[in-house]
Protein backbone atom coordinates (compact mmCIF):
# COMPACT_ATOMS: atom_id res chain seq x y z
CA UNK A 1 0.00 0.00 0.00
CA UNK A 2 1.93 3.04 -1.19
CA UNK A 3 0.02 6.10 0.02
CA UNK A 4 0.96 9.72 -0.26
CA UNK A 5 0.62 11.49 3.09
CA UNK A 6 -2.59 13.14 1.86
CA UNK A 7 -4.09 9.80 0.78
CA UNK A 8 -3.00 8.14 4.03
CA UNK A 9 -4.69 10.81 6.16
CA UNK A 10 -7.83 10.67 4.01
CA UNK A 11 -7.93 6.86 4.15
CA UNK A 12 -7.58 6.87 7.94
CA UNK A 13 -10.42 9.34 8.30
CA UNK A 14 -12.75 7.80 5.70
CA UNK A 15 -11.95 4.06 5.77
CA UNK A 16 -10.73 3.44 9.30
CA UNK A 17 -11.82 -0.21 9.15
CA UNK A 18 -8.88 -0.91 6.83
CA UNK A 19 -6.42 0.22 9.51
CA UNK A 20 -7.89 -0.48 12.94
CA UNK A 21 -10.09 -3.12 14.50
CA UNK A 22 -12.22 -0.80 16.63
CA UNK A 23 -13.28 2.18 14.51
CA UNK A 24 -15.38 3.90 17.20
CA UNK A 25 -14.15 7.51 17.40
CA UNK A 26 -11.05 6.60 15.37
CA UNK A 27 -11.31 9.87 13.45
CA UNK A 28 -11.00 11.81 16.70
CA UNK A 29 -8.09 9.71 18.00
CA UNK A 30 -6.28 9.83 14.65
CA UNK A 31 -6.63 13.61 14.48
CA UNK A 32 -5.54 13.93 18.11
CA UNK A 33 -2.45 11.83 17.46
CA UNK A 34 -1.51 13.92 14.43
CA UNK A 35 -2.03 17.09 16.46
CA UNK A 36 0.11 15.65 19.26
CA UNK A 37 2.91 15.11 16.74
CA UNK A 38 2.45 18.43 14.94
CA UNK A 39 2.61 20.81 17.91
CA UNK A 40 5.94 19.60 19.36
CA UNK A 41 7.42 19.43 15.88
CA UNK A 42 6.51 23.09 15.30
CA UNK A 43 7.83 23.97 18.75
CA UNK A 44 11.21 22.52 17.82
CA UNK A 45 11.29 24.15 14.37
CA UNK A 46 10.10 27.61 15.35
CA UNK A 47 11.03 27.96 19.02
CA UNK A 48 14.01 25.58 19.30
CA UNK A 49 12.18 24.05 22.25
CA UNK A 50 12.30 20.29 22.74
CA UNK A 51 10.45 19.25 25.85
CA UNK A 52 7.86 16.47 25.84
CA UNK A 53 5.47 16.39 28.78
CA UNK A 54 3.68 13.16 27.88
CA UNK A 55 3.88 10.50 25.20
CA UNK A 56 2.19 11.12 21.86
CA UNK A 57 -0.16 8.19 22.51
CA UNK A 58 -1.11 9.39 25.99
CA UNK A 59 -1.65 12.95 24.78
CA UNK A 60 -3.68 11.73 21.79
CA UNK A 61 -5.93 9.61 23.98
CA UNK A 62 -6.34 12.48 26.47
CA UNK A 63 -7.32 14.85 23.65
CA UNK A 64 -9.71 12.25 22.20
CA UNK A 65 -11.45 11.82 25.55
CA UNK A 66 -11.65 15.58 26.02
CA UNK A 67 -13.19 16.01 22.57
CA UNK A 68 -15.75 13.26 23.13
CA UNK A 69 -16.69 14.72 26.51
CA UNK A 70 -17.10 18.22 25.09
CA UNK A 71 -19.12 16.85 22.18
CA UNK A 72 -21.45 15.07 24.61
CA UNK A 73 -21.81 18.27 26.66
CA UNK A 74 -22.50 20.21 23.49
CA UNK A 75 -25.28 17.84 22.50
CA UNK A 76 -26.95 18.07 25.90
CA UNK A 77 -26.60 21.86 26.05
CA UNK A 78 -27.99 22.18 22.51
CA UNK A 79 -31.00 20.16 23.61
CA UNK A 80 -31.48 22.54 26.53
CA UNK A 81 -31.26 25.54 24.22
CA UNK A 82 -33.78 24.00 21.83
CA UNK A 83 -36.20 23.29 24.70
CA UNK A 84 -35.85 26.87 25.92
CA UNK A 85 -36.49 28.21 22.40
CA UNK A 86 -39.63 26.06 22.08
CA UNK A 87 -40.92 27.39 25.42
CA UNK A 88 -40.32 30.97 24.32
CA UNK A 89 -42.04 30.37 20.99
CA UNK A 90 -45.26 29.20 22.70
- pLDDT tens for 9-44 read 888 888 878 777 777 888 888 888 999 888 888 888
Residue 26: burial class (beta carbons within 10 Å; 0-12, 13-18, 19+)? middle
Side-chain-facing half-sphere of 29: CA atoms under 13 Å: 12
Residue 14 near residue 49, CB atoms below 8 Å: no
- pTM for the whole structure: 0.64
Please give the mean pLDDT across all residues of the chain. Answer: 78
Q: How far apart are CA 75 and CA 80, in angstroms?
A: 9
The total domain count for the chain is 1
Number of neighbouring beta carbons within 10 Å of residue 72: 10
Domain that holds residue 29: 5-89
Amino acid sequence: MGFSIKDWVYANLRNAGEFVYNVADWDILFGSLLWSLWLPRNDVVFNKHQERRESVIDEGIRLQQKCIASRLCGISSRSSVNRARRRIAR
